Chains A and B, each alone.
Chain A
Amino acid sequence: MAEFKKADSMLEWFDQRLGVINFSKVMMTEYWIPKNINFLWAMGALLMMMFGVLLISGIFLLMYYKPDVALAFDSVNYTIMHDVAYGWLFRHIHAVGASVIFLVIYIHMFTGIYYGSYKKGREMIWLSGMLLFVLFSAEGFSGYMLPWGQMSYWAAYVITEIFGGIPVIGGDLVVWIRGNFYVSDSTLTRFFMLHVLLIPVVMLGAIAFHFYSLRFPHVNNEAGEFFDYDVEAEKYLAGDKKGSKVIPFWPVFLAKDFFVMGVFLIFFFYLVFYYYGFAMDPVNFDKADGLKTPTHIYPEWYFLWSYEVLRGFFFEMFGISGKDLGLMAFAFANGIFLVMPWLDRSPTVAPANQRPYFKIWFWLLMIDLIVLTIFGKLPPTGANAWVGFASSLSFIVLFLALPVITTLEAKKLGAK
């Protein structure tokens, strides 16, 4: 064992044992972030904060929630909402938080796409981020089942049914997932386990990995500029703070994040107190009833775009049934973002507004996703079904065209 001299201060005492001074340098005061960024770069910190908010509010809810089909509905709507002091507040924070975190995830994700932050060394950041997106989706879906209302039940029914479309093993797979032939008590208890244990644990690991994946390629900046971080860091440490292109994570980067958090929290708590209905669907305040199908079944807003891709193909084409086409499109939609770094064939890392073709592609994608989201909630009848079909098809075409568009763009920019 190394020899320890008597520590002169508490800091030194901890430093001898845990290396806290070096650790805080590596993690905070000498972790370099580019200076040329805007508030969109604060979404990561917002997500971390919201994850904490969901974790803490979730722990409080967990103390009273009962994962049993006979007890779940009342444990949420009566025990937590009426009996427990401020139980309603924790539930509102948890429900609104779960909904709003997806808004921040989408902003975070499309910021990455807009600024090209997924390529040229940043592929692992993108992949780990998409892994987190999948985990958050699974967490959102499993949590939505827990209050055991009508929408909980029927969303669980519809979504687990989707796995039945997988060839050969589909039917058995659905039974395996549900733990029964229909959505039942066994389904509820296993989704409860997933929601409060397995998925959050994996999430913690994935978040750590996501942060780690940032260390080597570094955070992208508003101009997509590549520069030598060591040189810029030295400049900063030498005192040329204004001339350096980097800032330390603490306190400079976080100082801005705290302000963004403050503004965001005002918006968030406004929703928690005065406009929570969007995150707690009224239909879900009717207890689950497997014999009574609600007039309209729709998922939470953040799944609407992919749900609409699933519904968009409603008629037979090329001898394949509409249902199977929808499933294939759905699988495509959920997997395609993952390979984004390889679909974009242009080596240019720059904001979309400086990329002549990609710019158009990006805004078309945004419009298409908004149309899909809106029509994903409306009843799929008459003209709505055709809008759904057109926008689902456009979604697929947009992604199939991306390699071509970016190759052409690379040629054009290279020729200049």
Chain B
Amino acid sequence: MKELKILAVVASLVLVTFYGIEPYAHHVMHPEGKPADFKFSDLKNVDTSLKGDVTAGKESFVNNCTACHSLTADGFDPMMSDADSAAAYGVTPPDLSLAGRIYEKNFLANFIFDPVTATKVEHKYPANGSKVYPMPAYSWMGAQEIMNIVAYLESVSPKAIDEAGLASLAAKEERTLFDVSREQNAEVFKSACGRCHDMKYGGLSATTPKVTIQGYMGSTPPDLSQYIISRGSHYLDGFINNPQEYLHGTGMPRVGLSEQAQAEVIEYMTQVGDPKKTEREELGPKVLLYLLIFAILAYLWKRKIWSEVH
């Protein structure tokens, strides 16, 4: 039929143009980066096959870490306010309650060994430079002692609640599953990202004051409210895993999240940045079905009317 031929011509012109300005242009402007490596296989300073001892690990933790770090999950409360500790160290030192759960084991062990290489910020803290990373390297510690600390951190870290657990929690507290799930993911976000980044649309401000963080990082880390839309989950997945690979020279350290923790962070960014996703996906098919019925009725009416003139 002639009209279909015309439609085919119009459609192919549109599709060629579309291909050029969308998939092809994106491919050219945003080349694919390295995929995420959740084993952090470039870090090999600590033998992570060693089995850690929790009791010894706690002792090492008390002797080496509690001067700066809190761990509220095991009763070590922060000694200063966020602003004071930020003023002292440049950035608020993290509470380590979730450290054992959200950081990948190999990363965590190697981070304790040498934070600068693990986070890939050598360009900011060169070996003979004047700036020093706020946390000293524990490269003098034996691998066994480091693994003891890692084992201790893992043992005190509250476990993630699974889907079923969240559902029953939601039922018990008479809240939506979305809300309780977002709340759990928010904890991971706060621990992993919340010392530097705001999440305005989620009601979170960075725990380090703006002035301090700007001095520490060189620029103010962005608010991440809309990053799930502006960057997309695919990019975020690669970027968070290895920022230098995607944005060479950035001040942002590699955070070392495990695959699950990173998924929780991205899920949280989606829940905050695109909260109507479910509503959208539910409404879509209904509207399209309605329009399909409309189009069919319109076609039948057209046939009836035009049968008189053809």
**Which residues of chain A have a CB within 8 Å of any CB of chain B?**
35, 38-40, 74, 77-78, 81-82, 88-89, 103, 107, 241-242, 244, 247, 251-252, 255-256, 258-259, 261-263, 265-266, 269-270, 273-274, 278, 282-286, 295-296, 301, 304, 366, 370, 373-374, 377-379
Alpha-carbon gap, A285 to B279, bound state (A): 21
Alpha-carbon gap, A359 to B201, bound state (A): 55
B287 A255 Cβ-Cβ under 8 A: no
Q: Which residues of chain B have C-beta atoms less than 8 A from A283's C-beta?
A: 230
Shortest distance in angstroms between B179's beta carbon and chain A's nearest beta carbon? 14
B309 A247 Cβ-Cβ under 8 A: yes
Q: Which residues of chain A have C-beta atoms less than 8 A from B276's C-beta?
A: 81-82, 88
Q: Looking at the complex, which of B14-22, B56-64, B106-114 is the stretch in contact with chain A?
A: B14-22
Q: Which residues of chain A have C-beta atoms less than 8 A from B308's C-beta?
A: 241-242, 252
CB-CB under 8 A for A304 and B298, given A282-B231, A379-B29: no
Q: Which residues of chain B have C-beta atoms less than 8 A from A273's C-beta?
A: 280-281, 283-284, 287-288
Alpha-carbon gap, A304 to B310, bound state (A): 42
Interface residues on B, range: 35 or more
B284 A274 Cβ-Cβ under 8 A: yes
Alpha-carbon gap, A274 to B287, bound state (A): 12
CB-CB under 8 A for A261 and B284, given A370-B16, A370-B20: no
Alpha-carbon gap, A270 to B287, bound state (A): 9
Closest 5 pairs between A and B when the two form their complex, measured CB to CB? A262-B295, A374-B20, A273-B284, A285-B230, A255-B305
Chain A residue, CB-CB nearest to B226: A285
CB-CB under 8 A for A35 and B229, given A301-B21, A377-B20: no
Q: Is the interface of A mostly helix, strand, loop or mixed?
A: helix
Shortest distance in angstroms between A91's beta carbon and chain B's nearest beta carbon? 10
Alpha-carbon gap, A244 to B276, bound state (A): 53
B35 at the interface (CB under 8 A from A): no
Alpha-carbon gap, A259 to B296, bound state (A): 8
B76 at the interface (CB under 8 A from A): no
Q: Which residues of chain A have C-beta atoms less than 8 A from B291's C-beta?
A: 262, 265-266, 269
Shortest distance in angstroms between B230's beta carbon and chain A's nearest beta carbon? 4
Chain A residue, CB-CB nearest to B280: A273
Picked from A35, A88, A266, A378, the residue with its CB within 8 Å of the CB of B28 is A378
B287 A269 Cβ-Cβ under 8 A: yes
B306 A374 Cβ-Cβ under 8 A: no
A282 B295 Cβ-Cβ under 8 A: no
Alpha-carbon gap, A256 to B299, bound state (A): 8
CB-CB under 8 A for A262 and B283, given A103-B14, A370-B20: no
Q: Which residues of chain A have C-beta atoms less than 8 A from B296's C-beta?
A: 262
A-B contact pairs, 30 of them (CB 8 A): A38-B2, A39-B3, A40-B6, A82-B275, A82-B276, A89-B283, A107-B10, A242-B308, A256-B306, A262-B291, A262-B294, A262-B295, A262-B297, A265-B295, A266-B292, A266-B295, A269-B291, A273-B281, A273-B287, A273-B288, A282-B229, A282-B231, A282-B232, A285-B230, A286-B230, A301-B17, A366-B13, A370-B17, A374-B21, A374-B24
